[in-house]
Amino acid sequence: MNLRQKNPLKRYSQVSDLVFLLRHGQIINNGGKKRYIGTTDARLDDTGILQAHYWQEVFSAIKIDAIYASSLSRCRHTARIIANEKSVVTDSALNEINMGDWDGRSFDRIKACDPVAFEKRGTAMDTFKPFGGESFLDVSSRVLPCFDKYSKKTGKKLFITHAGVIRVLLCSILKKSLKDLFEIKMAYGQLFVLEV
């Protein structure tokens, strides 16, 4: 595919003030089971690296004024590839939700070891915190001020972050309850465009 002719972002090349929210590329999934990957510093797999190179080519067609990324390696690696030689601002306020004792563990294991807490998380998605971790309300308290600070700057801004962070941001923008954040579906390497 020749992205110079069919670039999906070409229509935004003349828009001066935009925010792009990009979920990092696909990560290595050790064991293949569904896991809580919050602050676990998982790396991109081969597909994730290809996704980052795809977005590097797509974004080369428009001028990005600033790139902001989570400090976790999957976002920094995605950002490094996309940025090419531009500087990237990393900010831990854009990191994924901290899942505490659950971080890195499979859903099946948590469900078997702590079924009451597992069920409680499902019914109180906004306020539930695993031991030593955060709730999505906590994530909202750290992410929204950070996003507000950077997104108010003029120009085209690219944020490379995580599914939980993007869901929190979109819930705020769309005036949705954090309890409903998993209604927002997204894949690795998915882009959201916000016109300011």
For 92-130, what is each residue's pLDDT tens digit? 999 999 999 999 999 999 999 999 999 999 999 999 999
What integer is the mean pLDDT of 137-148? Answer: 98
Q: Which CATH superfamily is domain 3-195 in?
A: Phosphoglycerate mutase-like (3.40.50.1240)
Q: Is residue 188 over pLDDT 90? A: yes
Which residues, listed in sequence order, are joined to residue 159 by a DSSP beta bridge? 21, 68
Least confident of 2-11, 63-72, 127-136, 140-149: 2-11
Domain residue extents for the chain: 3-195
Per-residue confidence band for 32, with pLDDT thresholds at 50, 70 and 90:
confident
pLDDT at 15: 86
191-195 sheet: strands from edge to edge: 89-90, 66-69, 156-161, 18-23, 191-195
pLDDT at 2: 47
pLDDT at 10: 83
CA angle at 120 for the pair 116 and 124, rounded to the nearest 5°:
175
Identify the residue with better confidence: 84 or 182: 182
Q: Which residue matches tokens 């896991």? A: 35
Chain centre to alpha carbon of residue 45 = 16
CA angle at 169 for the pair 165 and 175, rounded to the nearest 5°:
140
Separation CA 80–CA 114 (nearest Å): 39
Percent of the residues in the chain that have a pLDDT greater than 70, as a whole number: 96
What is the token pair recorded at 43?
């790396």
Separation CA 126–CA 137 (nearest Å): 6
Taking Cα atoms as reference points, which of 146, 150, 130 lies closest to residue 40? 130
**pTM attached to this predicted model:** 0.93
Percent of the residues in the chain that have a pLDDT greater than 90, as a whole number: 83
Q: Is residue 11 over pLDDT 90? A: no
Q: Which residue matches tokens 């797509």? A: 58
3 state SS of 22: strand
